[in-house]
């Protein structure tokens, strides 16, 4: 049966996490995402599903609690906003190195530094290129609606366990704070002890006579072994690029121009496409849903069809580099963005398209 609710994005991801069988949430207050933890606390999931919700003493503590929980084969998560996500980078690098699954939600605000509490998309580089130290990638999901905030909780856990890799939901202050209709998924039970034993043999569930010791580590002092380990990681990232690319196209069939935008920028750009079409400009939109892996192939294909691409982001221009790489600079690619917490209007996007791509 369909369960419809009107929710904030922050509440939706929290509710969906409970329903996805999440075992533990560890967080720390920061605007504009404090509602994730607050919602979870009010739901008292320890009484229903047994999920634990803990307010840590810092974001660093929270991500390391996730590191601990993940090592037990449990579905664990944390959420924060940009400055807090920066603090988590050390833990994320270790979790990626130790090949543990977990879900991280970033409700992005403008930076650098303390920046602002208003929405931005300036954490694209940090999210898709590593963020912490070492050769690793996160699987990055970019929701453009409250519905996707909910959907990506379950999907995030699924992918995290499939690849034994941290999954990041890269949201922003718009998606986190706005309210929309959400269709919630039915409850999925938490993993049982037997399931953990059967499905996650790497987990630290105790040494019994029938199994060896598991040591969770991201260290190998033997460089040859470490190189082998990183090569294995690379193979996982390659598999993600082959199997997990997700994107959405909007009015691209006859498009002469293309806008590429994710998250809240995609929502704004969708309106911009309508405005431009009304003016007779044949423009379409490609919305990457996974930022890593990036939809390179569909972009390369569209590059043979359109005359130019405008990458719209609430940043100085970060994703635009991946767009250029994807089309191998065969056609014109420009960036348009507002930043520092300013949200562009659809009219500004159309004006940028006309100036930078059509007229330029």
Binding region for other proteins (CB under 8 A) = 28-31, 34, 37-38, 41-42, 44, 55, 57-60, 83, 113-114
Q: 41 vs 275, which CB is nearer to other proteins? A: 41
Q: Residue 245: helix, strand or coil by DSSP?
A: coil
The set of residues, in sequence order, having a beta carbon less than 8 Å from that of 39 and lying 6+ positions away, is 10, 11, 14, 15
Q: 26 vs 136, which CB is nearer to other proteins? A: 26
The set of residues, in sequence order, having a beta carbon less than 8 Å from that of 124 and lying 6+ positions away, is 170, 291, 313, 315, 318, 319
Min separation Cβ 153 and other proteins, Å: 20
Min separation Cβ 57 and other proteins, Å: 4
> Parallel, antiparallel, or unpaired: how do β-strands 332-336 and 308-312 relate?
parallel
Min separation Cβ 149 and other proteins, Å: 20
* CA–CA distance, 313 with 343 (Å, rounded to integer): 9
Q: 37 vs 149, which CB is nearer to other proteins? A: 37
Min separation Cβ 216 and other proteins, Å: 24
Cβ 203 vs Cβ 73: under 8 Å: yes
Q: 34 vs 165, which CB is nearer to other proteins? A: 34
DSSP readout, 292-342? ES--HHHHHHHHTT-SEEEEE-SSSSSHHHHHHHHTTTSSEEEEE---TTP
CA distances from 344 to 21, 83, 272, 350 (A): 37, 23, 10, 10
Min separation Cβ 14 and other proteins, Å: 12
Q: 66 vs 320, which CB is nearer to other proteins? A: 66
Q: 53 vs 149, which CB is nearer to other proteins? A: 53
Residue 47 has a CB neighbour count (10 Å cut-off) of 8
Min separation Cβ 334 and other proteins, Å: 35
């Amino acid at each position: 049966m369909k369960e419809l609710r009107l929710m904030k994005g922050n509440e939706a991801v929290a509710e969906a996490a409970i329903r996805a069988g999440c075992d533990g949430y560890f967080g720390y207050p920061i605007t504009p995402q404090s509602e994730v933890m607050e919602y979870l606390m009010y739901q008292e999931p320890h009484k229903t599903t047994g999920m634990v919700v803990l307010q840590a003493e810092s974001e660093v503590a929270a991500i390391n609690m996730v590191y601990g929980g993940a090592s037990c084969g449990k579905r664990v998560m944390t959420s924060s906003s940009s400055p807090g996500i920066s603090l988590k980078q050390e833990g994320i690098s270790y979790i990626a190195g130790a090949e543990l699954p977990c879900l991280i939600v970033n409700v992005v605000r403008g930076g650098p530094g303390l920046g602002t509490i208003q929405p931005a998309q300036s954490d694209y580089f940090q999210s898709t290129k590593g963020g912490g130290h070492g050769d690793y990638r996160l699987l990055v999901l970019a929701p453009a609606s409250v519905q996707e905030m909910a959907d990506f909780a379950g999907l995030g856990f699924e992918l995290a366990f499939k690849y034994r890799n941290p999954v990041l939901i890269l949201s922003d202050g718009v998606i986190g704070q706005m309210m929309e209709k959400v269709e919630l998924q039915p409850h999925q039970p938490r993993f049982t002890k037997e399931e953990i034993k059967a499905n996650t043999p790497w987990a630290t569930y105790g040494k019994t006579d029938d199994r060896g010791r598991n040591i969770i580590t991201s260290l190998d002092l033997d460089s040859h072994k470490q190189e082998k380990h990183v090569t294995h990681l690379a193979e996982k990232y390659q598999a993600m690029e082959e199997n997990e690319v997700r994107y959405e196209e909007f009015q691209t069939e006859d498009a002469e121009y293309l806008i590429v935008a994710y998250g809240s920028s995609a929502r704004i750009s969708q309106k911009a496409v309508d405005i431009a079409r009304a003016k007779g400009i044949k423009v379409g939109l490609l919305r990457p849903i996974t930022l890593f892996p990036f939809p390179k192939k569909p972009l390369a294909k569209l590059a043979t069809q359109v005359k130019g691409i405008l990458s719209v982001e609430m940043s100085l221009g970060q994703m635009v580099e991946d767009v250029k790489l994807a089309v191998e600079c065969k056609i014109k690619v420009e960036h348009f963005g507002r930043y520092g917490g300013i949200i562009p209007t659809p009219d500004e996007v159309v004006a940028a398209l006309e100036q930078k791509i059509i007229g330029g």
